[in-house]
Amino acid sequence: MARYARITGWGKYLPQKVLTNQELERLVDTSDAWIISRTGIKERRIAANDETASTMAVHAAREALKAAGLEPHCLDLVITATCTPELIFPACASLVQNSLGARKAAAFDLNAACSGFIYALATACQFITAGSYKNILVVGSEVYSRILNWKNRNTCVLFGDGAGAVVVQASDSPGSLSFVLGNDGSRAGSIYTPGPCGLNQGPYYLTMNGREVFRFAVNVICLATKQAVKAAGLELSDIDLLIPHQANTRILKSAAKAIGLPLEKVFINVDRYGNTSAASIPIALCEAIEEGRLKERDRLVLVGFGGGLSWAAMVLQWGQGKR
């Protein structure tokens, strides 16, 4: 019986509306040059009024299922990584399951902020390697535009909306080689969004200590990547591509330097989409595949960080193998 977990399908969805830095100049005290110099972001996507985390997730999921050649009724489980669901309950994953027609699938959400997709992917792989399930859909979907204070230039310029999804299936050859998950709850106040069930009432705007998050991110990307590579029994020189959480170009370049990886081995698309939180890594993975950056048996690292403060890294061997 197969006891390996492998990504066999992938898909993404980006809202049609593009918000450029020039447009932001008319909304808040900022400039295109200021945003690019500090973040590398040139534009981001903004969900339409009738789009939600679940509707975007469904678009990405359908692409992933098509790529995997799998019908929704074959899914055993749907995991949605999000911290911007349209409902407190039921889970966003329940809405996705219903829209897809995945009648026999269990469904739940996972919230680890920007690390959420890797947390969810690691969870899916554990279900498969344990022999519990064979076909799992993992989605990262976020609508951060609805929790931003559009008068705060330190946060509103950073984020965008979107969704990315993968199908994970049991395989006879290795796909997931290792993972590392971590969290430091003592630093929860570094980036957070209050909720309707909290002690304080008021607007549910994202709040962030940018300098603290920057320092944390560079250090933890380096640490988690090295730990995951070591756990996989590999050396950094064995890694063909690093796909990090797309938060800030300066963070990614600093982290690559600290790790010792050349920039040509780091996939970056934050300039086009901004920080899409749990959706950023699967969106970047889809684009890396589309651009021919991954080939059979390539080894790649997915690494993320976010609210919690949380972090996660995963080493994969690329290729669809036999199922």
Report the catalytic residues.
114, 245, 275
Main-chain phi, psi angles of 295, to 5 degrees: -130, 170
Neighbours of 49 (CB within 10 A): 5
Cα separation of 46 and 125, whole Å? Answer: 31
Whether 279 and 68 have beta carbons less than 8 Å apart is answered as no
Q: How far is CA 1 from the centre of its chain?
A: 30
- What are the tokens at 72? 């929704």
